[in-house]
Structure 1
């Protein structure tokens, strides 16, 4: 099977059936080559419905979860994004394709270096990677979009404070056996929240929430 056939099957057999139907998102999955973010022995596996192992012992998300996250955020080219957790750099590349700039915070020096290498090799220039704990409040900024690439028990208040008005945060919250992807939007008067899909992700490695926000 060719790489392009594997990509086609991934989109048609995994991603569309998971309610990812936005044409811009589907077109992006063809343009941003997922195999470029994995080593040679994993390139064909990059299109499977599985979480691939990463060099630090953690795992990358499966493709349908990444695509669904991007779709739910309704990204705009004028927006700035914050991603907590670099993994292989692929989710950062997806966000970068649809926004103005992406800041990535990663606690693992191994993953920071891997993601930087992959993004540079793929020609992605609007991503900045920092070795920092994105949950504790060690790094702060102002963003239109925030994505947490790992499960949390609760959403930290330190992250919500960094959302611009109209900004959206997506994080998977909960514990086994049930975890929910929560989409939080900041309004002029506060925050709104809705559950957008159920999934299971590993905990976000190397971070400890400093404080949490309850709706």
Structure 2
């Protein structure tokens, strides 16, 4: 399989056709070899326009969705970014092609190790993988100019909202129970965090961020 051709076709047919026009985001999508940031048995389907299951209840987010989240984040060259739920590292790799530094938090030790190995293979040395609880973020390096969740959440934890820098942006697909997911942009201005809806995106939940089960009596 010619991955380079498949990657270019992904950009042309999945990314550009879904309102992604930011040249930095498009260049990152053209560059990053998604197949290297997946389990070996999934590499043949690296460029399909779907979320790819990668084990332990986790998914590699649909390329179009991560591209639109990145574009909405308006990532600048000097930005420090935090990725929640790095998985095998594809989203973090894309963001690293635009931001100055990326801190990628991952709770699964095997996935964190695989992501680190992939970053080393492609010489992406501005990504730091941190093993830890996803809902805690990584306060040690806070605040961050950009925070992106690599999977849907029922709500954004306050502990992670606290890690947004002044003027910073947080992007998350929020899926309330029984509803379609909506990509939301959170921004801190003058110490106050506001948010607005961007687009529908029904991607899978990050484990641990699902809505609590409700009981019917």
Alignment TM-score, normalising by the size of structure 1: 0.89
- 1:34 offset after TM fit, Å? 1.6
Corresponding residue of 1:21: 21
- 1:194 offset after TM fit, Å? 1.1
Task: Report the Cα distance in structure 2 between the residues aligned to 1:83 and 1:92, rounded to whole angstroms.
Answer: 6
1:149 matched to 2:157? The reply is no
User: Is the alpha carbon distance of 1:127 and 1:207 closer, same or farther for their aligned partners in structure 2, counting shifts above 3 Å?
Assistant: same
**3-state secondary structure, aligned to 1:120:** helix
Conserved? CA contact 1:119–1:125, under 8 Å: yes
**3-state secondary structure, aligned to 1:47:** coil
- 1:73 offset after TM fit, Å? 0.6
Count the aligned residue pairs. Answer: 209
1:121 matched to 2:121? The reply is yes
Q: CA RMSD in A?
A: 2.0
Task: Report the Cα distance in structure 1 between the residues aligned to 2:138 and 2:32, rounded to whole angstroms.
Answer: 31
4+ residue segments displaced more than 6 Å: none
Conserved? CA contact 1:133–1:139, under 8 Å: no
Task: Report the Cα distance in structure 1 between the residues aligned to 2:131 and 2:191, rounded to whole angstroms.
Answer: 33
Corresponding residue of 2:192: 190
Pairs within 5 Å for 1:3-152: 3-136=3-136, 139-140=139-140, 141-152=142-153
Conserved? CA contact 1:55–1:110, under 8 Å: no
- 1:21 offset after TM fit, Å? 1.4
- 1:139 offset after TM fit, Å? 4.1
Give the stretch that moved more between structures: 200-209 or 26-35: 200-209
Q: Which runs of 5+ in 1 are unaligned?
A: 210-215
Conserved? CA contact 1:136–1:207, under 8 Å: no
User: Is the alpha carbon distance of 1:200 and 1:112 closer, same or farther for their aligned partners in structure 2, counting shifts above 3 Å?
Assistant: same
Corresponding residue of 1:167: 168
